[in-house]
Chain A
Amino acid sequence: MPKNTEFVKFDKVDKSYDGKVLVVKDLNLNISEGEFITMLGPSGSGKTTCLMMLAGFETPTNGEIYLDSNPISNIPPHKRGIGMVFQNYALFPHMTVYENLAFPLRVRKVQKDEIDKKVDKALSMVSLSGFESRMPAQLSGGQQQRVAVARALVFDPAVVLMDEPLGALDKNLRESMQYEIKHIHENIGVTVVYVTHDQGEALTMSNRIAVFNDGKVQQLSSPDKLYEEPVNSFVAEFIGENNTFGGEVTDISKDVCKVKLQNGEILANPVSVTSKGDKTTVSIRPERALINPKDKMDNNQTGKIEEVIYHGDHTRVRLDLLGNKEFILKVPNSSNELDLKLGNEIKIGWNSQDARALDPK
């Protein structure tokens, strides 16, 4: 059976709370069945609003949302059959774990033994079997989180929404929960719409990521593409680390362009510049610029070391390069023959393909 690529569809959705500012602008987004899609963006970018509109707690000011080809704007939340995991888990504090999980089944008038079976299954899925009679307050943060996930899945919803579910957990737990949620998704194949402001989380878990800023989807693509090939400088800045040069295009051909900087000139990959004289921001990932490159590279510059920070597995080197004093390099710990001393001049090289000339900031 071919998968429905428009299982969830935002069609020209606008949302405004006060009639003056659009929180979400002309959102068009298709989510396929069984996909894990993440809405990533800084706070106030409209990602949570989108989720709330999908869940039914907010109504679109304009446009329509379709679930499995049915418009859902006029369907109240409790009839949408969408599971949701909330930021603060929203476990019912007066009910036991069992009762929490049984709640969606009981309101659906499921038989008692059927409920028992499903609750058992859901709890074993999040490896919390035997916790049925605990109260939420007796569980640790991670355990509460798992219960919340189990509760959102126990009634076999078609779509599960997760609103920054790992935000309150500490770093280690957050990472292990990321994998756990990812595996649950792979095992049961439910469609997941996940909201986060943590790019690492988005990159590890998702099939596709929609980067939100200013009420708009800036880029919608797979994690690797998003990181390797950001389409604009916001995405480049927001995802991962990034070195930038502001300048002006002086020469342009099909896949390389010359960018004149304040003091110097570099070759770059023309992504969003089209003609001579365009202002641009060139973005280079720190790991794409190499020290003393052995292979031939078409950009070769010399920079002065301003700062060296030891990070265990790698060393961060801050350079003064072409007038940019914030140029960061990541040097793997294996290359310890390098002489990284403050004030030293070193040779840097990168391919023009990796220097993406994007829209100006």
Chain B
Amino acid sequence: MSNETKQILTTDGIPLEISLKKAERKNKIKAFLLVAPLLLFLIITYIFPIGEMFTRSIDDKMITNMLPKTFKSMETWDGKELPSEEVFASFLSDFKILVEKKEHGKLAQRLNKEKNGFNTITKKLFRQVKRNKIDETQSIKEQIMKVHKRWRNVEYWQAIKRTAPPYTSAKYLKAMDMYLNEDNKITQVSEDRRIHRILWLRTVEVAFFVTVFCFLMGYPIAHLLATLPMKYSNLLMICVLLPFWTSLLVRTASWMILLQQQGVVNDFFVLIGLVSDDNRPEMMYNKVGTYVAMTQILLPFMVLPLYSVMKTISPSLMRAGKSLGGTPFVAFWKVYFPLTIPGIGAGCLLVFILAIGYYITPALVGGASGTLISNQIAYHMKTTLDWSFASAMGLMLLGGVLVIYWLYNKLVGVDNIKLG
């Protein structure tokens, strides 16, 4: 056994391992330099934006920077009774600086989000400060409390204290229709305001069913592609890929033409007498439209991985299954199907992940009942400009996808995925 432990030397007497490393170092550096541009690109366009999104979604520094002295003096306050004179004094001094910088409006807005009613009382306080009505030689606490009765209410001071941490989970809670109440407890919003949870569920539901439909339609197509003679399979492959060569927008628009109430499909239904002319079904601006259009658009992502896997399955395996006595169904189910699982996994994962973040199609054909969480994200990006909320939802989506990936890995094993 001593031979194995003995260090092997090259003819020059250098240990073999070191020599090998030396010889390979150059190649390693070359290889790294080759991938370096891509790595850099990924860092700039992928990792950095995600990090940026994350900080934005939890960032609550604005108010922390506005009221530094107040929060410092509030550290000793137990939050049950009205705060001490010191807190009031530091709040006033912070506020005066804000008035000078004309940033008191932002403060009012932010505090108002935390608790309704701050707008009015901040404005009142602003007027008092502007007119220099507050005499700093006397009790500031008394004077502020006189400005408005809400300044005497401990709840408002508690609200200010809640905004102290530079980071907040409020956006994430909001995306789940929840918020932190006065006692720092996670609470659900009232029932009529719970809109996000419905959207999440609908997104998952749509993604799931689109995946199922794509699988049901894609499997036979892929099988046909893999078994047909070359000249037919090439033609079929072009048909499968054709949608890829057409703009997504154009495809969605053509579905709108087909599916609308006066559209081609409805005309056809009326023509063959399936539905009456005055009772045409709505196939667009609801979930039906979303399902139909998304399934068609995502179908190639299911077909291609399936095809690439099926192509490698030797036809003699099915023959073997049959010649050994299996009925065609048994041969398919016991032999062919298990061998296509890597393709099914890859296709389903791909379609599901693409579907869960789909935006244009649901936005155009989805209507009110067919919009998904991505539409909500876009809404907050463009309309309300609440980017931190949009970031939070985007990250939750990303997290969800990672969870699905993890689940898939647990159940099937990622090594089993085969994209081509």
Contacts and interface: CB of A to CB of B under 8 A. Distances in A.
A84 B338 contact: no
Contacts of B317: 90, 92
A103 B314 CA distance: 18
B321 A83 contact: no
A100 B331 CA distance: 12
Contacts of A221: none
Interface stretch (B125-133, B230-238, B322-330, B396-404): B322-330
Interface string A151-181: 1100100000100000000000000000000
B327 to A, nearest CB: 6
Contacts of B316: 86-88, 90
13 contacts: A77-B319, A78-B330, A83-B323, A84-B324, A86-B316, A88-B314, A90-B314, A90-B319, A103-B326, A104-B326, A107-B325, A155-B325, A161-B323
A78 B331 contact: yes
Contacts of A84: 319-320, 323-324
A86 B320 contact: yes
A104 B316 CA distance: 15
A84 B326 CA distance: 13
Interface in B299-354: 314, 316-317, 319-328, 330-331, 334-335, 338-339
A96 to B, nearest CB: 13
Contacts of B319: 55, 57, 77, 84, 86, 90
A103 B334 contact: yes
A117 B316 CA distance: 27
Nearest to A57: B319
A93 interface: yes
A132 to B, nearest CB: 18
Contacts of A76: 322, 328
Given A84-B319, A86-B316, A92-B317, A155 B324 contact: yes
A100 to B, nearest CB: 9
Nearest to A92: B335
Interface of B: 314, 316-317, 319-328, 330-331, 334-335, 338-339
A37 interface: no
B321 A103 contact: yes
A354 B331 CA distance: 53
B322 A78 contact: yes
A77 B334 contact: no
Contacts, number: 69
* Interface size, A (range): 20 to 34
B320 A108 contact: no
B323 A77 contact: yes
A107 B330 contact: yes
Interface in A50-93: 55-57, 76-84, 86-88, 90-93
Interface in A105-158: 107-108, 151-152, 155
A55 B326 CA distance: 13
Contacts of B338: 94
Nearest to B337: A94
B325 A81 contact: yes
A45 to B, nearest CB: 20
A24 to B, nearest CB: 19
B323 A82 contact: yes
A86 B319 CA distance: 9
A109 B319 CA distance: 20
- What 3 pairs across the A-B complex have the smallest Cβ distances? A104-B324, A90-B320, A90-B316
B404 to A, nearest CB: 24
B323 A78 contact: yes
Contacts of B330: 78, 107
B323 to A, nearest CB: 4
Given A88-B316, A94-B339, A151 B324 contact: yes
Interface centre among B314, B320, B338 (most CB of A within 10 A): B320
B20 to A, nearest CB: 29
B324 A55 contact: no
Given A84-B320, A92-B334, 19 more contacts: A55-B319, A56-B322, A56-B323, A77-B323, A81-B325, A82-B323, A86-B320, A87-B316, A90-B314, A90-B316, A90-B319, A91-B320, A93-B339, A94-B338, A94-B339, A103-B334, A107-B326, A107-B330, A161-B323
Contacts of B322: 56-57, 76-78
B314 A104 contact: no
A55 B320 contact: no
Contacts of A82: 323
Nearest to A55: B323
B325 A78 contact: yes
B339 A103 contact: no
Contacts of B323: 55-57, 77-78, 80, 82-84, 161
A161 B322 CA distance: 14
A17 to B, nearest CB: 11
A108 B326 CA distance: 8
B320 A107 contact: no
Contacts of B327: 78, 107
Nearest to B341: A94
A122 B323 CA distance: 18
A155 to B, nearest CB: 7
B348 to A, nearest CB: 19
Interface centre among A55, A80, A92, A108 (most CB of B within 10 A): A92
B231 to A, nearest CB: 13
B324 A107 contact: yes
A55 B323 CA distance: 7
Contacts of A161: 323
A103 B323 CA distance: 11
Nearest to A103: B324
Contacts of B321: 92, 103
Given A84-B319, A90-B319, A92-B320, A104 B325 contact: yes
A161 B324 CA distance: 12
Contacts of B314: 88, 90
Contacts of A78: 322-328, 330-331
Interface in A218-267: none
A79 to B, nearest CB: 8
A86 B317 CA distance: 9
A91 B320 CA distance: 8
Contacts of A104: 324-326
A103 B122 CA distance: 81
Contacts of A56: 322-323
**Residue of B319, B324, B326 with highest tally of chain A CB at under 10 A:** B324
Nearest to B326: A107
A83 to B, nearest CB: 7
Nearest to B334: A103
A123 B230 CA distance: 40
